[in-house]
């Protein structure tokens, strides 16, 4: 360790900060250091004061509360001029240049973990959006899918509002909400909307930096950056974006350091007036595995639900997919209406599953598409579509599956207990019985502890009413349907 007397004679802020930052890192740990100290830089204001400039106001407040006192103790012990550090955020500094205002305070770059001067530059490759003109390779590198544009998005009752908001964001219109958060069951168009926004936003502003990432890629890239000691490059790659789109945010739940980094990134972008678009399988405040402060930021803009598709939208999606395949020469002609209806009945899950069924039909049908009957489709696709009506689902099976899903006993669903924790699963079970069996309302009631048919009718209608409004119930029904159909 360098002796205190020698160190106290230093006046070069670069050397002082390198030594002080190294000591501070060992005291506060890698996580807080990487999040709050590493992205900061020392500057000199117009009065010659040394200022630690943080990227965001949130980081400034954290440093003031948790590290500034110790930082000044370290600084005063090293600085021969006995100067003190103040802390401000980037927005407060305005256009103040890097430290070059005095001979004792030469220019300072953003400080990362102390490293030898000859250390190689980090090998981190910033995730960037690539315009369509860069070709398919660039598109794949950016994580975007070429076919997911506004032109290929099928509008319906459940997604009309989400589509309108997506187009507004993509147009760079002033006065938009920030962040915009799309939420809803998987497989109903959230990823499609984020892709479409990215394509359109880049088309309208070719010079803008539009970054699209899945939460999984955000997580893996951040972890790799920490391992490679290139977190500063990672932060800069995101915080220099004009628009950041992050898909499937629910997957950052339970990962503390990643959530901290995401929170700081969102705060920095919002303070700089940049656009943020996110998606998850539920509303922000329902992301119980996500840290409360981050949930609060996610919910601060506009939460825009993407609801499960109704039957008319499913028909339109199936027809749209067949049209796209026809343009590629996979099929010719048009499918009969009853064939599409049958296909939809056989795939009650997400839109992705429906598109998969349409692809299977197209591959089997080819030029015979318009001639296929329902019976032929049944024969040709019986083995391919695993959710066929030949699979007989019983009331007893539904009760057991629902009870297991909600961590209840089957007897709880048949009991007289009316607590919400039991009543709602019971109504869901009744709804599933009506959807997947041929039992009448009175028969279902008898199998639920001898209840009246009006009780069953009320329960079924209640779930039908709640599904478009409550994404948790929609997810539960969808998950249970998948379990029941194998």
Secondary structure of the chain: what % helix, strand, coil (to 5)? 55, 10, 35
**Which residues does residue 54 pair with via DSSP β-bridges, in sequence order?**
89
Question: How far is the C-alpha of 268 from the C-alpha of 364, rounded, in Å?
Answer: 52
Q: What is the pLDDT of residue 244?
A: 92
Question: How far is the C-alpha of 397 from the C-alpha of 378, rounded, in Å?
Answer: 25
Q: What is the pLDDT of residue 109?
A: 28
Is 175 a known ligand-binding residue?
no
Q: Beta-carbon neighbour count of residue 339 at 10 Å? A: 21
Q: What is the pLDDT of residue 428?
A: 94
Q: What is the pLDDT of residue 285?
A: 84
Q: Which fold has domain 312-386?
A: Helicase, Ruva Protein; domain 3 (1.10.8)
For the chain, 486 residues long, the average pLDDT of each consecutive 10-residue run is 45 76 79 73 77 75 81 80 80 52 30 31 34 37 75 82 90 81 83 92 89 85 80 82 89 81 87 89 83 86 80 77 76 76 70 76 74 74 52 84 91 88 93 84 87 88 84 86 78
Q: List the structure tokens of 109.
A: 């770059």
Which run of H or of E encompasses 89?
A: strand 85-89
Q: Where in the chain is the domain with CATH 1.10.8?
A: 312-386
Q: What is the pLDDT of residue 198?
A: 92
Q: Quick check: 149 and 195 in contact, CB under 8 A? A: yes
Query: What are the distances in angstroms from CA 269 to CA 49, 262, 341?
Result: 27, 11, 46
Is 190 a known ligand-binding residue?
yes
Is 54 a known ligand-binding residue?
no
Closest by alpha carbon to 318, among 154, 147, 485?
A: 154
Is 189 a known ligand-binding residue?
yes
Q: Where in the chain is the domain with CATH 3.40.50.300?
A: 138-305
Q: Measure CA 339 to chain center.
A: 36
Q: Measure CA 297 to chain center.
A: 13
Question: How far is the C-alpha of 486 from the C-alpha of 474, rounded, in Å?
Answer: 19
Longest dimension (CA), the chain: 93
Question: How far is the C-alpha of 303 from the C-alpha of 471, rounded, in Å?
Answer: 12
| Alpha helices for 273-373 (secondary structure H) | 292-298, 311-327, 337-346, 351-365
Contacts of 38 (CB under 8 A, 6+ apart): 111, 112, 113, 231, 232, 235
Contacts of 73 (CB under 8 A, 6+ apart): none
Contacts of 322 (CB under 8 A, 6+ apart): 331, 334, 335, 358, 361, 362, 369
Q: What is the pLDDT of residue 136?
A: 37
Q: What is the pLDDT of residue 180?
A: 92
Q: Beta-carbon neighbour count of residue 296 at 10 Å? A: 13
Domain 138-305 CATH (choose: 3.40.50.300, 3.40.630.30, 3.40.50.970, 3.90.950.20): 3.40.50.300
Q: Quick check: 101 and 48 in contact, CB under 8 A? A: yes
Return the ∠ at Cα 201 (arms to 198 and 203), rounded to 5°.
Answer: 105
Q: Where in the chain is the domain with CATH 3.30.300.180?
A: 13-92
**160-170 vs 190-204: helix axis angle to the nearest 10?**
30
Domain 13-92 CATH (choose: 3.20.20.80, 3.90.950.20, 3.40.190.10, 3.30.300.180): 3.30.300.180
Q: Quick check: 433 and 395 in contact, CB under 8 A? A: yes
Phi, psi (5° rounding) for residue 194? -65, -40
Q: Quick check: 144 and 199 in contact, CB under 8 A? A: yes
Torsion 478-481-485-486 (CA) sign: positive
Q: What is the pLDDT of residue 41?
A: 77
DSSP string, 243-294: EEEEE-GGGGTT-HHHHHHHHHHHHHHHHTT-EEEEEESS-GGG-TTS-HHH
Q: What is the pLDDT of residue 422?
A: 92
**231-239 vs 215-227: helix axis angle to the nearest 10?**
140
Q: Quick check: 184 and 286 in contact, CB under 8 A? A: no
* Structural class in CATH, domain 395-485: mainly alpha
């Amino acid at each position: 360790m360098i002796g205190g007397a020698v160190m106290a004679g230093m006046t070069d802020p670069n050397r002082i900060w390198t030594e002080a930052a190294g000591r501070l890192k060992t005291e506060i740990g890698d996580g807080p250091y990487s999040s709050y100290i590493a992205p900061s830089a020392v500057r000199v204001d117009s009065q010659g004061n040394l200022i630690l400039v943080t990227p965001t106001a949130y980081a400034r407040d954290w440093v003031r509360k948790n590290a500034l006192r110790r930082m000044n103790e370290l600084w005063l012990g090293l600085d021969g001029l006995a100067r003190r550090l103040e802390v401000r955020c980037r927005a407060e500094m305005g256009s103040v240049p890097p430290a070059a205002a005095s001979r004792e305070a030469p220019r300072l770059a953003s400080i990362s973990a102390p490293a030898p001067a000859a250390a190689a530059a980090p090998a981190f490759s910033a995730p960037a959006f690539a315009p369509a003109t860069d070709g398919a390779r660039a598109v794949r590198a950016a994580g975007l899918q070429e076919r997911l544009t506004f032109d290929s998005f099928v509008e319906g009752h459940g997604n009309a509002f989400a589509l309108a908001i997506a187009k507004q964001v993509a147009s760079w219109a002033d006065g938009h909400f920030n962040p915009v958060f799309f939420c809803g069951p998987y497989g109903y168009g959230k990823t499609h909307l984020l892709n479409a926004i990215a394509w359109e936003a880049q088309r309208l502003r070719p010079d803008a930096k539009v970054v699209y990432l899945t939460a999984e890629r955000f997580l893996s890239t951040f972890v790799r950056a920490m391992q490679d000691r290139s977190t500063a490059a990672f932060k800069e790659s995101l915080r220099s974006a004009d628009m950041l789109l992050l898909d499937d945010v629910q997957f950052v739940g339970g990962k503390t350091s990643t959530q901290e980094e995401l929170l700081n990134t969102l705060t920095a972008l919002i303070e700089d007036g940049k656009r943020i678009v996110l998606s998850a399988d539920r509303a922000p405040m329902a992301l119980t595995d996500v840290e409360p402060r981050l949930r609060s930021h996610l919910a601060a803009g506009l939460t825009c639900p993407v609801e499960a598709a109704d039957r008319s939208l499913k028909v339109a999606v199936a027809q749209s997919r067949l049209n796209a395949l026809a343009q590629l020469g996979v099929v010719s002609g048009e499918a009969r209406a009853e064939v599409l209806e049958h296909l939809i009945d056989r795939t009650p899950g997400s839109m992705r599953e429906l598109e998969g069924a349409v692809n299977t039909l197209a591959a089997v049908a080819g030029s015979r598409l318009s001639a296929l009957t329902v019976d032929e489709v049944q024969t040709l696709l019986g083995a391919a579509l695993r959710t066929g009506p030949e699979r007989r689902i019983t009331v007893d099976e539904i009760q057991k599956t629902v009870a297991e899903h909600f961590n209840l006993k089957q007897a709880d669903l048949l009991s007289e207990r009316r607590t919400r924790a039991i009543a709602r699963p019971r109504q869901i079970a009744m709804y599933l019985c009506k959807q997947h069996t041929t039992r009448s309302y009175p028969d279902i009631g008898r199998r639920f502890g001898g209840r009246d048919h009006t009780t069953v009718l009320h329960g079924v209608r209640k779930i039908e009413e709640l599904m478009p409004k409550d994404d948790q119930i929609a997810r539960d029904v969808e998950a249970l349907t998948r379990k029941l159909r194998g």
